[in-house]
Structure 1
Amino acid sequence: MQSSMSIHDLPPEILCLVFKANANMESHPQTLFFDSDTATALGDTLFASRVCKLWRVLILGSPSLWGGLVDVDYLMRLNPVGRDEVVRRTGNALLSIRGSVAGTESYDFIIPPLLANWKRIETLSITIPDNTFPDPSKPGWEPLYWSATNLRSFSFVLYRCPERVNPVGFGPGLFNNDAPRLRVFESPCLPDPRDLTSSKHPYPFAQVRRLRLQEVVDSIPLGSLLDSLKSMHRLESLSLTSTSRERPMIATTFPVVRLPSLLNLKLTFTPILWATILLESLVPDRGCGLQLTWGNPPVIKDATDKKRFNDVLTRYVTNAFCNNSTCDRLRVSFTPNLLQIKQHSITMAPHLSDLDHPPGISLSFLRSSKSYTSILSETFHPSTIFSSCDFTGIKTLELTLKRVMRPRSSS
């Protein structure tokens, strides 16, 4: 019987591949601030560099390895000399910066790399408190308005209470309208509408695959948002959040926007009439998933508006499942607070594996009240929603139906 080879006996080429795989920050879930019990790509690499002389030579001799390891949360656990040493090891390689802004020290540590190395940044993913979110138009954030020729992913994520944050708008000229490699844009701040509809090339959002925006209703008119989406033909995932109250929608004609690559659409807390018009205006790819989430069930008083919402939901269900030969198992949940339709046995393409949710339909309410009829029982009926769908290929059907609440009659 042959003895198994020790990892110490592997050739340098294989060892370098192992080190590169372990140095992938995306394979380690990002948490709020540093947890000493959580494995990190940077921590693993620092440990590996001390195992033996060969490993140390290979690891220290790879600036690109260190360029992908600018983990702010972990670096905050090191002394200033240790932080500077990690940054020095990146050489001139492209940078992936990730972390949480927890105070002045970490805030100051993030800004210098932006100022000094902006053109080297490939990925910037920052989690920041909603009450200290910086105004990108203030001094110190000028690099956001410089050309970003290597930037692929730009993400500012809020934690704690994003519903209480005031919308912050970027000034005109974000990325100097020059970010040809940009694929992911996630932020509570919207680019200036003048940039979104700019005819200047290269258009910074034309190549975006994933777009996630918060407080979208208050930050940009719906018509301007739809106009901006017209140019995003490669958009695969769209997530929009708002905490604005329902307001009358001014009667106007909105453009039809075809998004031939869109496979995932997520709306959270958006006013229901606003959401209805958006859904009516979009023409996504066949099989596009839809997730709608509200805190309390929205109220639709007008019968015409109820029909419009029901019709557009039916259209999305049909688009997701009609003549879908790749679906052989279907799960349907229909309760007072949830309408969920999920298909199984779907193999996602590799470039879609990072989508927020797999294809399917979900309409849910986080809270409910017995004081009024559930909108699901009042507006939607499974037989109506599925009336245009062809499920002849379905082999397994999982169906969950729960009693729908009705308001108590007054005595």
Structure 2
Amino acid sequence: MQASGNDCPISLLPEDVLWEVFLLNTCRASDHHQPLTTARHSSQVCRKWRFIFLSSSTIWGRLLDVDDLARATDDWRKEVVARTGDALLWVYGHIRSYEQRQFLLTLLKDNWERVEILDIDHRGPHRRELWEFLKEPAPQLCKFQFVTTYMKSKVLPLCLFGDNAPRLRHFSGCTIPCKFSSNASWIPNLTSATFSRTFTPEEVLTALQRMPRLVSVVVHTNSNYKTFHWQGAQVALPKLRMLEVQGGIRRACALLECITPSPGCCLSIHDAAYHSLAGGFENHIQYEQYENAIKPYILSYFSLHPPSSVGFRLLKNQLDLALDPDEWGRRFHVVIDISFLSSSLLMKELMSSTSLSHIRTFNLQLLDNDSFASYFQTNIAVITTLEAFCPSVTTLRTNEHTLRQLLKCPLSITSSLFPALVTLQFTGPSMTWPGDEPPHQTFLNLRKSMGRPFDFVTLSEPEDASVFSGCLKHHTGFLVKLGDR
């Protein structure tokens, strides 16, 4: 017998438990998640639920989604704001239109002292005077994130929050000419911060000295500051778990030399000129300086958090070494100059450690470039490094182009790679022409002749199944899987 509405388990939950569930639903999990829409639908389920929603200003205070409200009627916008009562406000969204901007500015000017979270992505031109209210004290502000693509003028006021934001813990204004004072009263309380390109390296380090609580920091380096001389003491960040540097490799190196990381701190370095190492390394001494700067990070992180999945991305003279995000969402990423790979003391020390024995998944990507048709054959140091990382690998994740180039290596090299491999995953569509033998078929034949057949083959594109099906008759005993299904 089917239970009636009053007998449903969820109807038996007390109001305080339901309130906690509804409050959890106000947290935006992604840009596609619309908590305001969820709340509106939930409030129409039954009288009990509607009563809980209408009597909770806290819930409505967290639902100020500018995207959603900008598409609504003026009456509904006023109703939502009225329902927030005196509660703290979470304001977020993407500003794309004049209507959105006007609604947002009016809301913030009238209620700035109640804003707890401000997370805005503003695309398009806007005048600095529109944001003058940010000079005012922000007594309740905990998180401030402001992103824009408009770089022609300083958008935010120089003196933010009237130097009065005692609860602020997260500050990010990375893609705008946003600069705060290293003497601001609120920066010692920050647990995460982003430095825009307007900061000089000296200003970054000066500010970091006053941020002992930092857990995560992002620094965007400026190409105008190629060298600098730090006269201060080494900057110790005992709680730092994530350090990300975006910009030139050599400028990142200079910053890292001045920072003492906490054990297991995750490092992520991204080069502005992704096609090659920006600025390059003129000699072995310069590159050794870079390796010495990243060495405390990479050895400590690999030791305390042995990776189960590693990615190699090869492009020109650059090897990107990246790990999958860990349980806290941190993603380790460093750049290695292949020109110095054969003499790299850091890589030799890493390859001799026990950390690599935990690797089970290997993501190998070689960018499509005509000048590197025989890339693996001409870069023996890359093969040597690959061999050190792959003994325990059971899953190879790659694309057709990379596998095709790998098969051009001498059999003596190919046969020594991935001795424990049982699963092959393709990450891109097939590029095989009619009449050509697909590289995965050649690879399967090679593995079979070596007595190392596969258990699984995963294809990311459904249309690849027709290309792959031609070799099925030559192989038995393994499963073919399409995507994640």
TM-score higher than 0.5: yes
Q: Which residue of 1 aligns with 2:137?
A: 147
Q: Tell me which residue corresponds to 1:234.
A: 213
C-alpha contact 2:172 2:194 (8 A) present in aligned 1: yes
Query: Whose relative contact order is higher, 1 or 2, with alpha carbons under 8 Å and at least 6 apart?
Result: 1
Q: Look up the match of 1:61.
A: 55
Shift of 1:302: 4.5
In terms of Rg, which structure is larger? 2
1:362 aligns with 2:334: yes
What is the aligned partner in structure 2 of residue 181 from structure 1?
Answer: 167
| Residue range with higher mean Cα deviation, 282-291 or 379-388 | 379-388
Aligned to 2:97: 103
Q: Where does residue 40 of structure 2 map in the other structure?
A: 46
Deviations 1:295-319 (A, max 9, x none): 2312222443222112212232123
Instruction: State the alpha-carbon separation in 1 of the partners of residues 297 and 355 from structure 2.
Output: 19
Residue identity in the other structure for 2:267: L
Aligned equivalent of 1:121: 115
Structure 2 residue runs of 5 or longer lacking an equivalent are: 367-374, 380-485
1:339 to 300, 320, 339: 320
Are residues 80 and 235 of structure 1, via their aligned partners in 2, closer, same or farther at CA, if it must alter by over 3 Å?
Answer: same
Map of 1:244-263 to 2, 5 A cutoff? 244-245=222-223, 248-251=226-229, 253=231, 255-263=233-241
User: 1:209-238: CA deviations, max 9, x gaps?
Assistant: 121233x1xx12211111001111111111
Which has the larger displacement, 387-396 or 256-265? 387-396
CA RMSD after TM alignment = 3.0
1:206 counterpart = 2:194: no
Aligned to 1:18: 21
The 8 Å contact of residues 135 and 162 in structure 2, kept in 1 or not, is answered as yes
Please give the per-residue CA displacement for 1:178-199, whole angstroms capped at 9, x wherever unaligned. Answer: 1121111111346545x2235x
Q: Residue 274 of structure 1: SS of its match in structure 2?
A: helix
SS in 2 for 1:132: coil
Show the counterpart of 2:260: 283
Given candidates 345, 357, 372, the residue that maps to 1:384 is 345
Q: 1:53 to 1:177 in 2, by over 3 A?
A: same
Q: Is the 8 A contact 1:314 1:384 kept in 2?
A: no
Secondary structure of 1:206's match? helix
How far 1:52 moved relative to its partner? Answer: 1.9
Which of residues 298, 306, 309 in structure 1 aligns to 2:290?
Answer: 309
TM-score, L = length of structure 1:
0.77
- Counterpart contact for 1:174–1:191, Cα < 8 Å: no
Tell me which residue corresponds to 2:466: none
* Mean Cα deviation higher: 2-11 or 300-309: 2-11
Alignment match of 2:147 (pick from 157, 163, 166) = 157
| Structure 1 residues 405 and 248: alpha-carbon distance in aligned structure 2, compared to 1, 3 A threshold | farther
Which residue in the other structure is 1:82 paired with? 76
Alpha-carbon separation, structure 2, partners of 1:62 and 1:296: 53
CA contact under 8 A between 2:201 and 2:228: conserved in structure 1?
Answer: no
Residue 89 of structure 1: how far off its partner (Å): 0.2
Cα 1:22–1:397 change in 2 (3 A) is closer
Q: How far is the alpha carbon of 1:169 from its aligned partner?
A: 6.6
CA deviations over 1:269-293 (Å, ceiling 9, x no partner): x133321111111112111111112
Identity %: 25
Q: Could you state the TM-score of these two structures normalised by the residue count of structure 2?
A: 0.66
Distance 1:316 1:404, change over 3 A: farther
Q: 1:397 aligns with which of 340, 351, 359?
A: 359
**Match for residue 5 of structure 1?**
8
How far has the Cα of 1:170 moved from its partner?
4.4
In the alignment, does 2:245 pair up with 1:267? Answer: yes
Letter aligned with residue 14 of structure 1: V
1:367-406 deviation digits (Å, cap 9, x = unpaired): xxxxxxxx62113459622444574466433567774696
- Structure 1 CA distance for aligned equivalents of residues 289 and 319 of structure 2: 19
Q: Secondary structure at the match of 1:231?
A: coil
Distance 1:167 1:338, change over 3 A: farther
Change over 3 Å in CA distance of 1:381–1:8 after alignment to 2: farther
Q: 1:11 to 1:20 in 2, by over 3 A?
A: same
Unaligned runs of 5+ in 1: 31-37, 364-374
* Matching residue's letter, 2:162: N
Aligned residue in 1 for 2:417: none
Q: Residue 272 and residue 235 in structure 1: after superposition, are their counterparts in 2 closer, same or farther (change >3 A)?
A: same
Offset of residue 126 of structure 1: 0.4
CA deviation vs aligned residue, 1:154-174 (integer Å, no higher than 9, x gap): 00123xxx4x72463744431
Q: Which amino acid aligns with 2:99?
A: E
Deviation at 1:249, TM superposition (A): 1.9
What amino acid sits opposite 1:132 in the alignment? Answer: P
